[in-house]
Amino acid sequence: METNEINVYSYNYPKGLMDGYVKIHLDSFCRWGKCFKGYGGCADRGPRFDDCEIWDVQKILAEIVKNLEKNPNARFFLETPNFFDPYKMTGENRYQFQEIMDKKIKAYLTIQTTPHDLINLLAHQYEVSIYPKDIRMSGIQEIWMGLESANRELRDKYSKPPFQNEHLLKIVKHLRQADIRCCSYLVVSSDDTDDTIAETVDFIKEMKPDKIFQFDLFHYVAGERYVDYKMMKQRMDDLVRYQEIFKKLEKEINKF
């Protein structure tokens, strides 16, 4: 089986989201090249160990060291679709997740996860018990979360794992106390209205993320599920205006 290079850009992030970061691909593809080890699984979401490879932690560390020698101020994005996916932290998967957490890497590490899994992880709903200080001691200093919208009905339509906004606010407060930057990305959907956009803007201002990033609705290739193309054509003026509102919010948040 052919091995993927550790820095292959394998997950379809929107252009610009991780510009300036050294992207390190943690997961190996299965032999069909369709799923992530410990994430997508084959047909049943569970990884098949005879067909998949596991994280090579020593190789990951070597890649970090190599890049730090070139640039001591380098920031690293540990690329996997959801770093705190509970499937990575239970059963046979658990040791590889724990190994990378236990290394206490002395570098600026960034990861991506979902609000749902981060909230449940820190509420000790999973097999692994982790506190914000443990995350910070592992080297993780920045966490990106896909908020998409503050409106619960829209999130349900996107099939996002459910969470309560007030729970996210509480978790973000605890993470900040551990000196971890909390960042969010947003996306306008073809179902957004003036009210749902205002709801998201108000929530972002309350949450005060360290940075936000707006996915471009019209070029977000991986986000077809957010788009009803027939409705988008009918509401083009509104959707362009909504993107401009998020763009203004992005400038306000990211200037600090």
Residue by residue, DSSP assigns 26-55 as -PPBPTTS-SBTTTT-SSSSS--TTT----
Residue 37 has pLDDT above 60, yes or no: no
- If residue 122 lies in a helix (H) or strand (E), which one and from where to where? helix 115-122
User: Tell me, what's the pLDDT at 248?
Assistant: 96
- Of 235 and 74, the structure prediction assigns the larger pLDDT to 74
pLDDT tens string 138-155? 999 999 998 889 999 988
Residue 133 has pLDDT above 90, yes or no: yes
Q: What is the pTM of this model?
A: 0.82
**If we measure between CA atoms, which residue out of 193, 197, 203 comes closest to residue 247?**
197
Q: How deeply is 197 buried, as exposed, middle or buried, from its count of CB atoms within 10 A (0-12, 13-18, 19+)?
A: buried
Residue 246: count of CB within 10 angstroms of its CB: 23
| Rounded distance between C-alpha atoms, residue 134 and residue 121, angstroms | 12
Residue 31 has pLDDT above 50, yes or no: no
| Rounded distance between C-alpha atoms, residue 132 and residue 177, angstroms | 8
| Rounded distance between C-alpha atoms, residue 146 and residue 236, angstroms | 24
Q: Computed over its alpha carbons, how large is the radius of gyration of the chain?
A: 19
Q: Which domains does the chain have, with CATH numbers?
A: 22-254 (3.80.30.20)
3-state SS, residue 144 = strand
For residue 233, CA distances in Å to 14, 62, 73, 110 come to: 22, 49, 45, 37
* Per-state percent for the chain, helix, strand, coil, to nearest 5: 40, 15, 45
| Rounded distance between C-alpha atoms, residue 171 and residue 143, angstroms | 12
pLDDT tens string 80-111? 778 888 777 766 666 667 777 888 888 999 99
